[in-house]
Amino acid sequence: MLAAVSRWHRRLSLLAGVALLLWAASGLLHPLMSWTNPRAAAFAPPPGEPLALPAQAPSALLEAEPAGIVRLLSQGGQSLWQIASPDRQHLRYVDADTGEPVPEADRVRAVQLARHYTGLQSASLSEVRHITQYDREYPAVNRLLPVWRVEFADERGLTAYVHTGEDRLASLTDRRKRVLLTLFQTVHTLDFLEGVEGLRLGLILAAVGSVLAMAMLGIGMLLGRRARPGAPAMRRRHRLLAWAAWVPVLMFSVSGLFHLLRLSPLLQPVPASISPTVQGPLAWPAELEGARALTLLPLAEDRAVWRARFGPQSLALYDARSGERLAGGDAELAQWLASTPPVSSATRQAGFSPEYGFANKRLPVWRVEQPQGLAFVDTAFGQVAARVGALDVAEQWTFSSLHKWQLLDFLGKAWRDAVLSAGALLGMLAALFGLALRRRR
Quick one: 165 and 230 in the same domain?
A: no
Of 140, 167, 183, the residue that ends a domain is 183
Determine the Cα–Cα distance for residues 424 and 50; give it in Å rounded to an integer.
52
Instruction: Answer whether 317's CB lies under 8 Å from 306's CB.
Output: yes
Quick one: 14 and 82 in the same domain?
A: no
Query: CA 154 → CA 33, 93, 122, 123, 158, distances in Å?
Result: 20, 31, 11, 8, 7
Is the pLDDT assigned to residue 275 strictly greater than 80? no
Query: CA 270 → CA 146, 261, 393, 423, distances in Å?
Result: 18, 13, 17, 34
Quick one: 121 and 104 in the same domain?
A: yes
Determine the Cα–Cα distance for residues 375 and 386; give it in Å rounded to an integer.
6
- Which pLDDT score, from 0 to 100, does residue 320 have? 92
Domain ranges, residue 242: 2-36+188-269+414-440
Is the pLDDT assigned to residue 260 strictly greater than 70? yes
The verdict on residue 171 lying in a domain is: yes
State the burial class of residue 13 (Cβ atoms within 10 Å of its Cβ: 0-12, 13-18, 19+). buried
Which candidate, 136, 147, 255, places its Cα nearest to that of 191? 136
Instruction: Answer whether 13's CB lies under 8 Å from 434's CB.
Output: yes
Band of pLDDT at residue 195, cut at 50, 70 and 90? confident
Instruction: Answer whether 213's CB lies under 8 Å from 257's CB.
Output: no
The verdict on residue 212 lying in a domain is: yes
Express each pLDDT in 411-439 by its tens digit.
Answer: 998 899 999 999 999 998 988 888 888 77
- Which pLDDT score, from 0 to 100, does residue 244 have? 86
Express each pLDDT in 364-406 by its tens digit.
Answer: 999 998 877 888 999 999 989 988 888 888 888 899 889 988 8
Express each pLDDT in 317-341 by its tens digit.
Answer: 999 999 999 988 898 899 888 875 6
Distance of CA 36 to the CA centre of its chain: 19
The verdict on residue 433 lying in a domain is: yes
Quick one: 141 and 74 in the same domain?
A: yes
Instruction: Answer whether 93's CB lies under 8 Å from 105's CB.
Output: yes
Q: What is the DSSP string of 389-422?
A: -HHHHHHHHHIIIIIS-GGGGGG-HHHHHHHHHH
Quick one: 250 and 195 in the same domain?
A: yes
Q: What is the DSSP string of 49-86?
A: PPP---SS-SHHHHHSS-BSEEEEEEETTEEEEEEE-T
Quick one: 192 and 177 in the same domain?
A: no
Determine the Cα–Cα distance for residues 354 and 380; give it in Å rounded to an integer.
23
- Ranked by mean pLDDT, which of 157-161, 211-215, 432-436 comes out on top? 157-161
Q: What is the rounded end-to-end Cα distance, in angstroms, of the chain?
A: 21
Average pLDDT, the chain: 87
Instruction: Answer whether 184's CB lies under 8 Å from 30's CB.
Output: yes
Quick one: 158 and 175 in the same domain?
A: yes
Which candidate, 233, 294, 236, places its Cα nearest to that of 48? 294
Instruction: Answer whether 53's CB lies under 8 Å from 291's CB.
Output: yes
CA angle 35, 36, 38 (to 5 degrees): 115
Express each pLDDT in 130-150 by its tens digit.
Answer: 999 999 899 888 989 999 999
Of 183, 208, 228, the residue that ends a domain is 183
Count, residues in the chain:
441
Is the pLDDT assigned to residue 282 strictly greater than 80? yes
- Which pLDDT score, from 0 to 100, does residue 341 have? 60
The verdict on residue 383 lying in a domain is: no
Break the chain down into helix, strand, coil percent, rounded to 5: 45, 20, 35
CA angle 274, 277, 281 (to 5 degrees): 160
Of 127, 157, 183, the residue that ends a domain is 183
Which candidate, 45, 37, 40, 89, places its Cα nearest to that of 67? 89
* For residues 299-311, average pLDDT: 86
The verdict on residue 256 lying in a domain is: yes
CA angle 330, 332, 334 (to 5 degrees): 65
Quick one: 142 and 199 in the same domain?
A: no
Is the pLDDT assigned to residue 301 strictly greater than 80? no
Could you give the number of structural domains in the chain? 2
Quick one: 65 and 32 in the same domain?
A: no
Band of pLDDT at residue 242, cut at 50, 70 and 90? confident
Query: CA 229 → CA 2, 224, 441, distances in Å?
Result: 19, 16, 19
The verdict on residue 204 lying in a domain is: yes
- Which pLDDT score, from 0 to 100, does residue 230 have? 62
Share of the chain above pLDDT 90, in %: 41
Please tell me the least confidently modeled range out of 23-32, 85-94, 180-189, 262-271: 262-271
Express each pLDDT in 27-67 by its tens digit.
Answer: 999 888 888 899 999 988 988 677 888 888 888 888 878 89
Is the pLDDT assigned to residue 263 strictly greater than 70? yes
Determine the Cα–Cα distance for residues 411 and 419; give it in Å rounded to an integer.
10
- Which pLDDT score, from 0 to 100, does residue 231 have? 66
Is the pLDDT assigned to residue 261 strictly greater than 80? yes
Express each pLDDT in 110-129 by its tens digit.
Answer: 999 999 999 999 999 999 99
Quick one: 115 and 91 in the same domain?
A: yes
- Which pLDDT score, from 0 to 100, does residue 273 have? 62
Please tell me the least confidently modeled range out of 122-136, 172-186, 251-265: 251-265
- Which pLDDT score, from 0 to 100, does residue 271 have? 60
The verdict on residue 336 lying in a domain is: no
Determine the Cα–Cα distance for residues 261 and 205; give it in Å rounded to an integer.
9
Quick one: 92 and 7 in the same domain?
A: no
The verdict on residue 102 lying in a domain is: yes
Quick one: 173 and 242 in the same domain?
A: no
Region label for 284, one of left (φ > 0), alpha (ψ between -120 and 50) or beta (otherwise)? beta
Band of pLDDT at residue 159, cut at 50, 70 and 90? very high
Residue scoring higher pLDDT (358 or 132)? 132
State the burial class of residue 302 (Cβ atoms within 10 Å of its Cβ: 0-12, 13-18, 19+). exposed
